[in-house]
Structure 1
Amino acid sequence: MSSWAQAQHPIPAPRDEPYPGQIQLSVDATDLDHHLFSVTEILPVSKPGRLTLLYPRYLPGAHGPYGTVERLAGLQIEAQGRRLDWQRDTVDPYAFHVEVPSGARELRLSFQFLSAVHKDKGRVVMTPEMLNLQWISMVLYPAGHHASAIQVRPEVKLPAGWQQASALRPVATSGNADERLRFQTVSLETLVDSPLFAGRHLRRFELDEPGRARPVALNVLADDEAQLQASPAQIEAHKRLVQQADKLFASRHFAHYDFLLAISDKQGFIGLEHHQSSENGVRPGYFSKDWSKQTGARGLLPHEFAHSWNGKFRRPADLWTANYNQPMQDSLLWLYEGQTDYWGRVLAVRSGLISPEQSRDSWAEIAAMLSHRAGRLWRNLQDTTNEGAMARSRGDAEWPNWQRGADYYAEAALIWLDADTLIREKSGGQRSLDDFARLFFGVEDGRVAPLTYRFEDIVATLNQVQPHDWRAFLRSRLDSHGPGAPLDGLSRAGWQLTWADTPSEFAKADDSEWKTDDFAYSIGLNIKSDGKVAQVLWDSPAFKAGMSPSLQVVAVNGRSYKAERLSAAIKANQAGRDSPGGQAPLDLLVRDGDSYRHLKIDYRDGLRYPRLQRLAELPERLDSGVLKARQ
């Protein structure tokens, strides 16, 4: 070890050896006023001497070091009725050293997890109406053992009258005034992978026929009862999601599966996969909106459900770790997340959660975004899989178009569309990427333990489906630089990216909190409704004029900023100064702090919004093939 502290107190490496005894983990989740979770652990010990306790640092699903040890507070450790001193490791702040006294048979740990009170300080997980208990934030565990080799008996105290949902199955309540809900004893690995949602308003919808082995259920919580009112047709679409996933993957790698869905504008948004459940957070209106017009977040559940097979069951070998304090390696996220993004989009349409027309507009959006991704000139897609290890929040990048980010989602989805349509073309429509899904994810039906894979396994399975130089196919797309997105799959499906001067119905229906006035593909700007610049595309007309995310657009051609005024000015400006209302170049008054200045943008190509256009000379393989429901 390089440091003095670690030389004195080395952190034991994890071994696949059972930890003696069971950890009793109790969480009091009733302090809604302060957004606090109070934790008590009874940790059995078998011998005196140095013991190292770890707080999880590398989070599954986040793919990197996103543990929040700074939110652990009030830590006290006791043995034999007296308080023990502990020491935080000076190199690894997620490790705590304590000296177990002779004769001690257990340690009593107590601390609080201080969850975020405001969303600008982190994701809010506790509100007056609901909470999201993530066990990974509530536990200190002994170093030196695999997470699968540590047994934990969890229990939770919830606010009076609240209901809960989780992949964990309760065994009893404590039977006293505390009324703590006790769950079955599980490994630390299973516990961490089984978060809990609880709240005042909860409905459970069974998505399988009664008596179905390894059943699937949708558990919905909301800020108020009205948000839980789902129509039979809406629930039927969620049932078809389960049916279409069965047909795609030809297996179930869970004993049961629970969708956890929170409909709230108070609790923070989330989409996080687990083996037998998923955490999903959406804004109000999930069931009440007009599904024929607004997709909302209906692509979220198909994505997270697909992860039960892709990511949780089949897992990259370099991403699998023995515990939550070993560094993760993310080199295969273009399959883990990228193909899951693809299957999520496919299953959303096959189930009827999203229409084919809405799906095409969504494909057009990502094709346009990646076609204008300037960062592709210097940073290849393979390198973007390191985003998790960089521990950078996806909202931190001020120049995302140049820096790139988690493009292994959407760009990899385009690559898998390319692979799917290529298989369909070369096999004369007899095979598709569905066959890869059955071969790769459908093995060992019923197995829950992770089955790891490497790059060579992906190539070999693709060759089982359709002989081709898949190694070269993948590496050329993952490692290349250059402008433009990989759009061969779209064209082989019979569609091409084109442009219109008005947004699609899909784009206009977007009411997410991230929605902006979109001028990205004309002058290179996304602007918030108050004129603040949300994004400037690298090397765009706006960029060349001096625009940056530090600015606020105050006026357009001498009039106060409104989206419709900028739209009209861009449209009128196509013919230059001589057109009605034209003023070339555009004159934007911008504010930078307490300074103002004029920026001139010389742009004449009008408004541009992405669409897919049918290529009549090519076979149609998207609606009639890729997105078509399986019978």
Structure 2
Amino acid sequence: MKQHLSAPHYRIDARQRHAHLYEVTLTIPAPAAQQEVSLPVWIPGSYLVREFSKNLQQLQARQKGRRVAIQQLDKCRWQVASQAGSALELRYEVYAFDNSVRTAWLDSQRGFFNGTSLCLRVHGQEGLPHQITVESPDDSWRAATALTALKADRRGFGLYQAADYDELVDSPFELGDFWQASFSACGVEHQIVVAGAPASFDSARLLRDTQQICETAIRFWHPEVDPAKPAASGVPHQRYVFMLNVVDDNYGGLEHRASTALICGRRDLPRLGETRTPEGYTTLLGLICHEYFHTWNVKRLRPAELARYDYTQENYTQLLWFFEGFTSYYDDLLLRRAGLIDDAAYLRLLNKALNQVLQAPGRLVQSVAEASFDAWVKYYRQDENTANATISYYTKGSLVALCLDLTLRAQGKSLDQALRAVWQRCSGGPMSEADFAQVLNEVSGRDFGPELKAWVHGVADLPVQALLEKTGVRWHDDPAQPAQALGLRVTENGSIQIKAVLRGGLAEKAGMAAGDEWLGLEVAAKSGTQGWRLSKLDDLALYAGPTKRATALVARDRRLLRLPLKLPAQATTVRLAIEQAALVKAWLGGDPTPGPASLGAPVSVPAAAPETKAQGPQSPRKTGARLAKKASTPSK
């Protein structure tokens, strides 16, 4: 690729690491008169206006060696009093102290940034090639990105080029003294970069497992791929980069067209000498699979409303149940097809998603289509009433996919075929719900309109139990935990803090509220009333015994309240189990997939992962429980 002389050019300087400031110089070779620039207010894939301009400071402009006036037009746009034709230079700083996947970070140990946080958009020139030079702040640091290098040194620092502004801001950079390795999947080059890993990190295992995931995903979308050929025909990327930031305790990921930014806890990494697959590592593999599946399902195949991003405001669509929900269905399913988990492990993961939906009263209030549209104001702005008012398009969307898949399989078809047909119908580009409905009809030979109306646009419970039982899965009703039986979500750390009160539950009927501290319980006994101090909900059965009514002692706004509480007689939670192994295997096996013996070229693995210094302070968790990646809390 040749250097484009009229392309906007960004120079990124990370020397002010201790101040957490990136210094950015934007050169516009051919500006317009009164050139307008802006910084995005959101990043595609994370549906919340985050106001990235709040971190931009010291904006200055020069043209022909002189300072040029700048007028701020609104929260994210500026107009430069420039003349047309002469090169214009803008300089500014960006504060970077959000250790997540969605913005930017810089300290003495590590740097990371998305272009949406650092790169001003040059209005009128978005379609031109864009260039970016990233300078090295330290001889021990390296740089990684999916962008095409025009002139980069052996450590990855130097000049890169993007086809346009969209590609530039969809290609994050990882900077620092990280571990890295590469492998080939179906002839496609892949790179893994891991920052912050401890000495116990089993890098070879992560590399092998990620390779299997990539092979399985590529062959899912492109079953015609010939593993004997040097490059997979039709695969939309010829190089892909996984960027994994390892911290004390966090979880999440954000997809990009040829890369992904991931974050996980150190305890979730595979460890040297460990042969089992801990739950945390399974969750990490599911995250890797989820974001890689997005390479097709949302980065290319995407809602028609998002065919062109508007970086200045919300971009609404009712299709996140398809793009996030279906991806959530296939992330764990492809782990099973890749041989990284077995049938029982897959059902345990499905069991979690199922109970998360069934235990959310909001599922009877909001459809997944509505939840998709409301992501900007509800899903990414959760509070104590979220479980009562909304439903996750991740979890319920994955169950919609499950129901469609099992319904199609009963006819000798599959959702696999439908997704590949949508990819072909829409040429791997923008799609509508009508496109998907038409494909379902063509694949199955019947109208799926009633199912889509009920499952996607309705609020009735999905027919999951009946469909699973026809597929060889037994549905058990087990006794529920005390919090579920009472209709509560709590934290327990020496005391019981009420985080949410679920609609219609016993706790709501007693008058409990979010923010209460549940201190104790009074129950009637032969000797009179007994009072007990509670430290965890499991104590209820111990102190209440067979009684059906008690008095809850709670503290609210430093007032002590006595609330009449009916104790739960019986509540249940769902437990799935394999009843007919052959039927389950036929479902979970899907289309034939390659076994481990045929997984591409040999893996290149460095001898060991380096020890790393401690990370800086962590941002607040954005994903909730680490092992519940499809819970109702945002994962991006």
RMSD: 3.1
Change (3 A) 1:217 1:174: closer
User: Deviation of residue 78 (structure 1)?
Assistant: 1.7
Give unmatched runs, 5+ long, in structure 1.
Answer: 1-18, 503-517, 578-583
Change (3 A) 1:309 1:72: same
Q: Name which of 180, 190, 193 aligns with 2:167.
A: 190
Q: How many residues align?
A: 562
Q: How does 1:129-528 map to 2 (within 5 A)?
A: 129-145=109-125, 147=126, 149-160=127-138, 161-173=140-152, 181-208=158-185, 213-222=187-196, 224-226=197-199, 228-232=201-205, 234-250=206-222, 251-265=234-248, 269-288=251-270, 291-294=276-279, 295-321=282-308, 323-325=310-312, 327-390=314-377, 392=378, 394=380, 396-405=382-391, 407-427=392-412, 431-441=413-423, 451-482=429-460, 487-495=465-473, 497-501=475-479, 519-528=482-491
Whole-angstrom CA distance in 2 between matches of 1:478 and 1:592 = 39
Amino acid at match of 2:488: L
Give yes or no for contact 1:152–1:186 (8 Å, CA) kept in 2.
yes
Q: Name which of 36, 47, 52 aligns with 1:52.
A: 36
User: Deviation of residue 115 (structure 1)?
Assistant: 2.2
Whole-angstrom CA distance in 1 between matches of 2:469 and 2:107 = 47
Deviations 1:215-247 (CA, angstroms, capped at 9, x unpaired): 22322222x441543344x43322211121122
Change (3 A) 1:402 1:322: closer
Greater Cα shift, 307-316 or 604-613: 604-613
The reply on whether 1:95 has 2:103 as its aligned counterpart is no
Deviations 1:463-508 (CA, angstroms, capped at 9, x unpaired): 2321121222212212213467755543443335433348xxxxxx
1:536 corresponds in structure 2 to 501
2:586 corresponds in structure 1 to 624
Change (3 A) 1:367 1:496: farther
Give yes or no for contact 1:570–1:606 (8 Å, CA) kept in 2.
no
User: Deviation of residue 385 (structure 1)?
Assistant: 0.8
Matched position secondary structure for 1:532: strand
TM-score, reference length from structure 1: 0.81
User: Deviation of residue 144 (structure 1)?
Assistant: 3.4
The reply on whether 1:597 has 2:561 as its aligned counterpart is yes
Whole-angstrom CA distance in 1 between matches of 2:216 and 2:98 = 39
Change (3 A) 1:485 1:395: farther
Whole-angstrom CA distance in 1 between matches of 2:317 and 2:90 = 34
Change (3 A) 1:396 1:326: closer
Q: Percent identity?
A: 20
Give yes or no for contact 1:589–1:596 (8 Å, CA) kept in 2.
yes
Amino acid at match of 1:277: S
Whole-angstrom CA distance in 2 between matches of 1:174 and 1:298 = 32
2:59 corresponds in structure 1 to 75
User: Deviation of residue 519 (structure 1)?
Assistant: 4.0
Matched position secondary structure for 2:203: coil
The reply on whether 1:576 has 2:554 as its aligned counterpart is no
Whole-angstrom CA distance in 1 between matches of 2:151 and 2:5 = 24
User: Deviation of residue 393 (structure 1)?
Assistant: 6.0
User: Deviation of residue 540 (structure 1)?
Assistant: 1.1
Give yes or no for contact 1:249–1:438 (8 Å, CA) kept in 2.
yes
TM-score, reference length from structure 2: 0.80
Whole-angstrom CA distance in 2 between matches of 1:205 and 1:587 = 61
Give yes or no for contact 2:178–2:193 (8 Å, CA) kept in 1.
no
The reply on whether 1:125 has 2:93 as its aligned counterpart is no
Give yes or no for contact 1:519–1:526 (8 Å, CA) kept in 2.
no
Amino acid at match of 1:452: P
Give yes or no for contact 2:519–2:555 (8 Å, CA) kept in 1.
yes
Greater Cα shift, 179-188 or 192-201: 179-188
Give unmatched runs, 5+ long, in structure 2.
Answer: 223-233, 523-530, 595-636
Amino acid at match of 2:443: V
Matched position secondary structure for 2:175: strand
Amino acid at match of 1:471: G
Matched position secondary structure for 2:305: coil
Whole-angstrom CA distance in 2 between matches of 1:606 and 1:115 = 51
Give yes or no for contact 2:551–2:565 (8 Å, CA) kept in 1.
yes
Change (3 A) 1:534 1:476: same
Amino acid at match of 2:63: A
Give yes or no for contact 1:372–1:484 (8 Å, CA) kept in 2.
no
